[in-house]
Amino acid sequence: MEIKGININYTIYGNELGEPIVFLHGWGQNIEMMKPLADLLSQDYKIIIIDLPGHGKSDEPLYPWTVPDYQDAIKELVENLNIFKPSLVGHSFGGKISLLYASNYEVNKLVVLGSPFKANDSKISRKMKILKGLKKVPGLKNFEEFAKKRIGSTDYKNASPIMRQVLVNTVNFDISKDVKKIKCPTLIIWGDLDEAVPLEHAYDLEKLIPDAGVVVLNGATHYAYLERVSNVANMIRSLLGGNKK
């Protein structure tokens, strides 16, 4: 779909009559990284997963986008799909976009997974390199090859000039004041071993959002949503209250 002058790739599947859930992946990743979680919810919910611009099969932005640019592009895309109050599930970079979106637009329920929200609180270069340590993570040995094939970007030095600036814009963008405006129920899921965005930020975020709760997954990292994928899917299902057709 063409949004803001570029083509944005997305996939829709699952229960056409179910409540819509929009999934937004982390930096350097793509649709496939969210599918293990989304697939577990596809029987009951309508699934929309988006390749964020500059990632996967989506075009790069025509200029260095900010987080608000991503937010507005997502809003235009989902409204073009006749979805006006989605639930959002965002990991890391996608979570930051989701938080800003929920601060400014109507959202049914919000789930953020290891998501930065302060300026410079996310060491994204480390996040992009975290793949190197996947084989050391309990429960992710079989996931390592899957991830290698599906993580689109590598690190800052290999990014295009536009995406380098997008990365800088993202890291330096603080939404601490914005998240106070979030009205929807919000679930904050974090691994206690997350080295990319420390666990303390989960509790800081919880204090800022009026209706929010933190779930800590012990022994899990920045990819907690994949390491405990069944548990996280059940938490999302519980938050949404089951499917209401």
CB-CB contact of 175 with 103 (8 Å): yes
CA–CA dist 192, 189 (Å, integer): 10
Which two three-digit tokens encode residue 30? 């793509």
pLDDT of residue 119: 82
pLDDT, residue 155, reads 47
The whole-number average pLDDT for the span 155-180 is: 87
Distance (Å, whole) CA 74 – CA 140: 30
Q: Which residue has the tokens 């608000």?
A: 68
Rounded to an integer, what distance in angstroms lies between the CA atom of residue 67 and that of residue 57? 19
| Residue whose token pair is 């204090």 | 207
Average pLDDT, stretch 167-182? 95
d(CA 70, CA 88): 14
For residue 136, pLDDT beyond 60: no
Note the pLDDT of residue 132: 45
Span of 45-54, 175-184, 235-244 with lowest mean pLDDT: 235-244
Identify the band that residue 96 occupies on the pLDDT scale cut at 50, 70 and 90. very high
pLDDT given for residue 159 in this prediction: 78
Confidence bin at 67 (pLDDT 50/70/90): very high
Residue 192 CB neighbour total at 10 angstroms: 14
Tell me which of 122 and 198 has the higher pLDDT: 198
Q: Is 94 exposed, middle or buried (0-12, 13-18, 19+ CB in 10 A)?
A: buried
- State percent of the chain over pLDDT 70: 82
pLDDT at residue 241, as a whole number? 86
Query: CA–CA distance from 64 to each of 31, 118, 203 (Å)?
Result: 21, 19, 31
Q: Which amino acid is at 184?
A: C
Determine the 3-state secondary structure of 105 from DSSP.
coil
- pLDDT value of position 150: 52
Position 153 confidence tier, pLDDT thresholds 50, 70, 90: very low
Query: For the range 74-81, what are the long-range contacts, defined as Cβ-Cβ under 8 Å and sequence gap of 24 or more?
Result: 74/22, 74/24, 74/50, 74/101, 75/101, 75/105, 76/3, 76/4, 77/1, 77/3, 77/8, 77/10, 77/50, 78/20, 78/22, 78/48, 80/1, 80/3, 81/12, 81/48
- At residue 139, the pLDDT reads 52
As a whole number of angstroms, the distance between CA 4 and CA 154 comes to 25
Q: Would you state the pLDDT for residue 160?
A: 87
Q: In terms of residues, how long is the chain? A: 245
CATH of domain 2-240: 3.40.50.1820
214-234 residue pLDDT tens = 999 999 999 999 999 999 999
Q: Where do the structural domains in the chain lie, given as residue ranges?
A: 2-240
